[in-house]
A and B are shown apart, each in its own frame.
Chain A
Amino acid sequence: MDVITCYKLSPDNQDMQINPDYTVSFDRAEWIIGDFDLVAIEAGAQIAAMAEASHKGLCVGPTALSNKKARKNALSRGLDSLTVVMDDSLWNADTNLTASILAAAVRKDQECRIVICGEGSADFYYRQTGMQLGELLGWPAINGISKVLEIGEASVTALRTTEDSVQKIVIPLPAVLSVTADYAPSRIPTMKDILSAGKKPVEEVALEDLGSFESKVQIDSILAPKSRDRKGIIIDAAVDEAVDLFVEHLAKEGLV
């Protein structure tokens, strides 16, 4: 059996620059694996170990994915191999486009019975890709998986955490599981993991080899909110009076 974990490489928000026209530039940003996806890779590694399966990474995105360090980073955290689908047309790909390409790549692996996704991506956090991937594959897709308890030939028993309950559910295989952000702390790669990551197999798949895909959503622009100057109001009063004055100022601004 193969367990495939999908992860996204996205520009580090800390390196984001806001231009004077409020457009957002990621030109100098380092491309990183988001925290949710690091947890997904760890969950995938644990689930693959339970199932005595191979653990394969799958990543779809623009040519920034050619970054060898980012690949080694993923491979040092519990993946046995990695498949990368790169094309510059995939910059800001919507969830349906991403899920369609992932589905095409997953279909190529006849041994795959479980696909793991993170809770959401680090950049847009739409939390849609896993669900749409399941739909496109025709597999059950369950989100909120906080623990996999048992893996059988035909099903997985898992805990699903919702806002007010924890459900114990049996999911028929094959399936797509989106795991919660607290499924397990992502592992810190050991020195040996880091050194062996560069020797693990990486397959680059051309987008056209998987079929033709089109985006369902067109993004016209991504703009940062306009910054406003601070009012510089300092309230110097006793607590009760200060609260009243504070609320008064908020009311003046139409905020309460």
Chain B
Amino acid sequence: MVDFTLTDEQELLMEGIKECLERELPDGGESCYKTGEFPWKAWQALADNGFVGLGLPEEVGGTPCDMLTLAMANLTISRYGGPVACFYSMGIPTMYDLCEFGTQEQIDKYVKDYVQGGPPLALGISEPGTGSDVAGMQTSYVWDGDTAVINGGKHYTTCGAEAKAIIVMARDPQVENLHQAGTMFIVDVDTPGVRINKLPKMGHTDQPTSICEVFLSDVRVDRSTILGVEHNGFMQTMANFARERIANVSGVIATAINAFEDAAAYANQRVQFGQPIGRFQLIQEKIVNMAIKIDNMMNMLYKLAWKIDTNQNIRIDTGLAKLYCSRTVCEVLDDAIQVLAGIGIVGEHRVARYYIDTRACRIAGGTDEVMIFNTAPQILKRYR
């Protein structure tokens, strides 16, 4: 029998995260989007209560947990934490990378800092000329004795302005096979030659968490900054991919649930032609469609997490979940705006912000098209 029941501990954990965030961010973090200030106090409170270290090893101050618990935690933080969720979502892939491939010194320096309330590391993979197409990567490094000299630039680096260090992927031009030329370096943002610019985002120019361009000009780092094994960077990127997808998917579901709840409450409250608009069938259809879509997304998330927790192959599932949930959240938000009507498009309703911000989820972390491009051959292969 399929069992969707969360354990007492999982439920108490979600209630604890909610309680913590409601206490520290009573407005769900909405004011941060006006001031552009990151709510460090709320992030610290999550860290103090051990929620930031969820899923990470005990040796670094974390608490190991299964993927479903991690997914539900990210969903809860995304529902109540506003910009805090961006840190958490970035921490999920980068901190796992560090724990899996990092040296003890790197783990002590970066993971312990994160678990205690520091920012996550940023990921410097995409470049102005390349994103998912790793073969086009231009950022490169050469050795000068035991010092790597990195030159190039990164684009769309989430949290680049808040992070203390960036995991930079650079290629060794001496290696012909481009897939075996990438090396991950942990580059502290205050290293000479590193310059970071915040990029304006669609709809908002001043956000509490940033997307940045990173310029790397004769950046000199020693061999100890290599994360994992030299030339194994691209393989390492794939290793914790599932966790990044879980973060993507659970984050967008949280947005969909919040928007749906706002729309449903408004449908009960807004009176037109002598009755709440929720009594009109055209509004009811939107409410029902939103509920179905959220249910579908939740089921996909549960199944994906369950497959990871039971060590099943998820190569197809991650792509399908990322694609479906990224598209579907946009449909839910569109319906939510339609139900909210006027108040959804004027003023500062959070659903209006979601509508603009969430469009990026069909691009960030792999575009819809890349999801299809990567997943379709895997599906077709089954039927050859």
Contacts and interface: CB of A to CB of B under 8 A. Distances in A.
Interface stretch (A53-61, A117-125, A189-197, A248-256): A189-197
Given A188-B49, A191-B63, A194-B13, A69 B54 contact: no
B240 to A, nearest CB: 21
A231 interface: no
Interface string B202-238: 0000000000000000000000000000000000000
Contacts of A185: 23
Interface in B36-75: 45, 48-51, 53-54, 63, 65
A195 B53 CA distance: 14
B20 A76 contact: no
Nearest to A71: B8
A187 to B, nearest CB: 9
B20 A188 contact: yes
B366 interface: no
Interface size class of A (residues with CB under 8 A): 10 to 19
A73 B12 CA distance: 7
B23 A188 contact: yes
Nearest to B15: A73
B3 interface: no
B19 A198 contact: no
Q: SS class of chain B's interface: helix, strand, loop or mixed?
A: helix
A198 B16 contact: no
A217 B251 CA distance: 52
A108 interface: no
Contacts, number: 45
Q: SS class of chain A's interface: helix, strand, loop or mixed?
A: helix
B190 interface: no
B295 interface: no
Contacts of A68: 8
Given A188-B20, A188-B23, A190-B49, A69 B63 contact: no
A188 to B, nearest CB: 5
Interface in B4-33: 8-9, 11-13, 15-16, 19-20, 23
Interface string A188-224: 1111101101100000000000000000000000000
A76 B12 contact: yes
Which one of B8, B20, B53, B63 has the highest number of Cβ atoms from chain A below 10 Å of its Cβ? B8
A160 interface: no
B49 A191 contact: yes
Interface in A157-196: 185, 188-192, 194-195
Contact of A72 (B8, B23, B53, B65): B8
Contacts of A72: 8-9, 12
A236 B20 CA distance: 44
Given A69-B12, A188-B16, 14 more contacts: A72-B8, A72-B9, A73-B12, A189-B12, A189-B16, A189-B49, A190-B48, A191-B49, A191-B63, A194-B9, A194-B13, A194-B16, A198-B8, A198-B9
Interface of B: 8-9, 11-13, 15-16, 19-20, 23, 45, 48-51, 53-54, 63, 65
Interface of A: 68-69, 72-73, 76, 185, 188-192, 194-195, 197-198
27 contacts: A69-B8, A69-B11, A69-B12, A72-B8, A72-B12, A73-B15, A188-B16, A188-B19, A188-B20, A188-B23, A188-B45, A188-B49, A189-B49, A190-B16, A190-B48, A190-B49, A190-B51, A191-B51, A191-B53, A191-B63, A192-B50, A192-B63, A194-B13, A195-B9, A195-B63, A197-B12, A198-B8
For the complex of A and B, the 5 pairs showing the least CB-CB separation, nearest first, are A190-B50, A69-B8, A191-B50, A191-B63, A190-B49
